[in-house]
Structure 1
């Protein structure tokens, strides 16, 4: 059985998702707990301290780096 091929009639620019639609962070402030959970870690005093340091250094972009 042959596999269907993707439609090549459209240009690649028409099939690319714009960057502003790829980020999942809302326009609200990012908390250390948000960052810990996005990293797939358990919320503990140590991971919260890691997140606080990361947010202080990178700001809300720290969450963008972890999420698609």
Structure 2
């Protein structure tokens, strides 16, 4: 049975108790209305896309940042 070397992410996870932020968060640099709808836990429909477009227009990237973990 061969043993393989753990990759960098696996080593970092085993060395720390908490998962590092760069492995948890993958926020887009500029959220699309679809990103915002999905981050809110809603299904993509014409009405939720309209909601997301209004929210992004009013709040910009902060609208997505508020929803992303």
Q: Normalising TM by the smaller chain, what interval?
A: 0.5 to 0.7
Q: TM-score, normalised by structure 1?
A: 0.61
The CA distance in 1 between the partners of 2:48 and 2:41, in whole Å, is 11
Q: Could you say what the CA RMSD is over the residues aligned between the two structures, in angstroms?
A: 2.2
**Which stretches of structure 1, 4 residues or more, deviate above 3 A after TM superposition?**
20-24
Q: TM-score, normalised by structure 2?
A: 0.61
The CA distance in 2 between the partners of 1:32 and 1:38, in whole Å, is 10
Compare the two structures and name the one with the higher helix fraction. 2
After superposition, what is the alpha-carbon deviation per residue over 1:24-67, rounded to whole angstroms, capped at 9, x for unaligned? 4232x210000000000000000000000000000011011001
Question: Structure 2: which 5+ residue stretches go unaligned?
Answer: 1-20
Aligned: 1:46 with 2:42: no
| Structure with more contact order per residue of length (Cα contacts < 8 Å, sep ≥ 6) | 1
